Amino acid sequence: MWGFGSATVTSSARQHQSDPRWAQCGANASPVLRIAGAEGQFGENWTNGIYDVEVIHPEMPPVYVLRAGPYERFLYLDAERYWRVGSCEYKDQEKAAAGSMRSLHPVPAGTLPPAVEAWTVRLGYEDWSEQRVAVEVLPTPPSGGYLAAQPGTAPAVAEASE
């Protein structure tokens, strides 16, 4: 397990309660986020990148999944109401420990990551630092999705039958 200096994990495995503010926040309207500017040992490969939204239930916080990174990483709301980038195991348990980045302050229900003003990033196994990290919504994908617009790929084209 990649606890990164979290020998004493204090978070419980409780689950978030359903809240209608999540349904009103528009997570599906901003399905792709980009995190940029995280520096330190866990910045470039563990935190920065493009994340795709997963809305499990409309009244629960969404989860964002790092796309095509060297490590499986998730941007999730932890049990203490901080947005946090961490592993699948920690995301599933909503653990408020370890990870590579978290919001500086807890957030109210319905607050998506782009609305967070301050972030703290793990510099090493024990040290964290407040950093100017950009968490921004990317434009809506083109028809066929982002993959269709990537160089070297082509969307599937149906052959016309005559």
pLDDT > 90 in the chain, percent: 60
| Count of beta carbons in the 10 Å neighbourhood of residue 46 | 25
Contact 115, 62 (CB under 8 A): no
Q: How confident is the model over 7-28, as pLDDT tens digits? A: 333 344 447 889 999 999 988 8
**Position 46: which residue type?**
W
User: pLDDT at position 28, please?
Assistant: 86
Tell me the C-alpha distance between 153 and 151, whole Å. Answer: 6
Is the pLDDT at 83 greater than 50, yes or no? Answer: yes
Q: What is the DSSP string of 82-141?
A: -EEEE-HHHHHHT--S--SEEESS---TT--GGG---EEEE-SSS-EEEE--EEEEPPPP
Q: What is the pTM of this model?
A: 0.78
